[in-house]
Structure 1
């Protein structure tokens, strides 16, 4: 049984199809663990210290190059830029994870046009090998393509007639999903694991849709706070100060209760 969109949904969210005016751009994103840490395409996400669209003149991102990225690990503000007025096709896949993964995308509702599954044991039902459709060009599969080169000119079995419309989708363990949307909403949009502990540890990335010049301007009188940066020591001190304040308030409260009881 497959999930399909109703005619009413398709009228509101038509399936984007490639034309001479609307060309297709395709990206592969691997959701995985690298050296025990959640990542996408080998990069652990570091949140910028300021909102990228609100404060374009105060870049607070961590670049994806040395010293933040080495051959062993990479912790940076992982960003991929899309061209606007294009059809975007994302291939979201996972290898080596022990479960299916829910992925959420901000800024768009997308069509799920294909789901690819791993090899399953016909007796036990367990998967024993990842989907053969994707080819990895390096160890962590951060550089991937279709195994069959002809798929770059058209993937077989795409549902472009009535695919479901989602903003969150599960990647099958060892499999992949192909999602499609129109790049018509300029801005910086977060793509991330819906599992909070993995998202906070690095399984996130930013999709930059278009140039800053075509994005919405900051509204007049918009509250601003600029860039916020803190070290591990700053955070630990703030936590300890809060604990001390809480303990002090508890003691004062207990003293007041004792005084009233007398």
Structure 2
């Protein structure tokens, strides 16, 4: 393959896209991409002799992943999918071509980006799924600087490979941390996800209807890793690790993205190196140096790594907790100094969640010496309306796995959750004892097509949802411009677990966070607040869009609802979202929603009601009608000529 062919392939992969450039004031571009989505396979024929010939693993269209042979979903036959790297206020245009098999629809969410709500990419909330053999164009301004990513928001597709980084850089004049780092290049993006040997829907079906669980086998760092071993001529080999090439004495800005899909907090560290945190979820923070970070699904961190150690290679480590710890899912990457020998780093190559030094956002642990949580970090952005002393409104959201007969996994008469043996018992993920579902048409674009009886919330629900299963399109209405305080309470009555929540289309301030006990209730949290025992941080509180809540604890958010839309707010573990642990924040009335573009796709239910003008002759289409007029004219002309000849 010659250099010109490789350049052509690189352009398709967008690694040399013209929008990857130094950012400046008033240098806006329109950055266009085409993503062809399809089912694909790891270690396909495009990989030739990978992993035995390691260079073959880098061939175009070769997806080695962790070496496990399995079907995947890809954009442009890449894992992760193409990275989008643009400058602030560029226009991003992404053409999605759906070549997925079996009529599977798709939509793409721009995680962390404040887009018009009809561009937010949530199937059946903000748009119809893009059908197979069809296409859809996303178009929006890059107005949210920082480290973000894109992923499918339809079914379980995100877990199988439909995701990629989305980075919006600022001009130097706007960069809060200019001068604190030397290098900020696309190749220092770190996208971490948990990985499965089997396809997710099969595991989920087994979990719901038989036994078992959705367990992560491994992890990937930028789509790479070593897990499944291969043997030839008595030699054992693995697929290659991701390698980050650095030079001695420089300060690198690593952009770390967490796309874990299972109940999988991830402990992240780099051997012998500190991590200086300078931003989270795209929002700048006062620098804070730690030794490790517990990453929760949907979160992003910008960290500075100073390469001031001996010239050799070092392990970048990710180890999973909770369900990711069951099978000890972990992965490694290599930070290689220029001039280091071509050999693996020293040290163990195993799952390890032992802590050392200072850790940011520990799992289900009260903040003590050696631990710091995100609410203790300071934003560098000015205080705003969201931090006023008294909010306009307070909302309490208590969530848990509830012991109730959910018809998706139990039948009250035949195999009730209260009667089956423990291995077959499935609890129900709910917020305020309600499981959310999506409406039959997208609420953002077809609100008037949805029967009002399908919407509900805790106040409107007439049933006793603590005793019977409640399911609806769970919507909480918020006035445009309101400052809302949201208490997220992890009741923790059934399992010791953890739920990271993500809000679409908005930032919120994290003003309080604590773990109370192994379990708690909204009433207990209210009582503590009434006694003045919940301290709110109303100065420099960090801005985020994804946040963790301790099991048996609470997190308090402040949202200034300036962005009208139907915004999904949900646990970012995919199985929990699928089972109903989410709701929609409707900001603004229907009349205050942004206009929808011309000919925006519509969808919804249909039932037979007869035919248009039934019993009458079917109207001719314009082409047929025109043909009949022309035929009549020709016939009359021939008859006229015949008569003239006779005379």
Normalising by structure 1, report the TM-score.
Answer: 0.69
What is residue 429 of structure 2 aligned with on the other side? 38
What is residue 388 of structure 2 aligned with on the other side? 18
What is residue 603 of structure 2 aligned with on the other side? 226
Gaps of 5+ in 1: 120-128, 137-144, 231-262
What is residue 254 of structure 1 aligned with on the other side? none
User: Among 498, 505, 526, which residue is 1:146 paired with?
Assistant: 526
Q: Does 1:130 align with 2:528?
A: no
| Residues 168-199 of structure 1: CA deviation (Å, up to 9, x unaligned) | 11110100000112011111111111110010
What is residue 80 of structure 1 aligned with on the other side? 476
What is residue 109 of structure 1 aligned with on the other side? 507
Q: Does 1:47 align with 2:452?
A: no
Q: Distance in 1 between matches of 2:606 and 2:514?
A: 41
Query: Which range moves more in the overlay, 67-76 or 196-205?
Result: 67-76
Q: Does 1:90 align with 2:486?
A: yes
Do the aligned partners of 1:47 and 1:77 also contact (CA within 8 Å) in 2?
Answer: yes
Do the aligned partners of 2:387 and 2:539 also contact (CA within 8 Å) in 1?
Answer: no
Do the aligned partners of 1:49 and 1:60 also contact (CA within 8 Å) in 2?
Answer: no
What is residue 555 of structure 2 aligned with on the other side? 177
Map 1:184-203 onto structure 2 (within 5 A): 184-203=562-581
Alignment RMSD (CA, Å): 2.8
Q: Distance in 2 between matches of 1:31 and 1:39?
A: 6
Q: Which runs of 4+ in 1 moved over 4 A?
A: 65-71
Shift of 1:210: 1.4
Larger RCO (CA within 8 A; separation ≥ 6):
1
Say if 1:44 and 1:2 are closer, same or farther in 2 by CA, change over 3 A: closer
Q: Distance in 2 between matches of 1:182 and 1:80?
A: 15
Q: Distance in 2 between matches of 1:24 and 1:98?
A: 33
What is residue 28 of structure 1 aligned with on the other side? 396
Do the aligned partners of 2:528 and 2:534 also contact (CA within 8 Å) in 1?
Answer: no
Query: What SS does the aligned partner of 1:162 have?
Result: coil
Q: Distance in 2 between matches of 1:54 and 1:160?
A: 36
Say if 1:112 and 1:44 are closer, same or farther in 2 by CA, change over 3 A: same
Normalising by structure 2, report the TM-score.
Answer: 0.29
Query: What SS does the aligned partner of 1:147 have?
Result: helix
User: Among 360, 364, 378, which residue is 1:5 paired with?
Assistant: 378
Shift of 1:17: 2.9
Query: What SS does the aligned partner of 2:541 have?
Result: coil
Query: What SS does the aligned partner of 1:16 have?
Result: helix
Query: What SS does the aligned partner of 2:568 have?
Result: strand
Do the aligned partners of 1:112 and 1:179 also contact (CA within 8 Å) in 2?
Answer: yes
Q: Distance in 2 between matches of 1:42 and 1:68?
A: 9
Query: What SS does the aligned partner of 2:449 have?
Result: coil
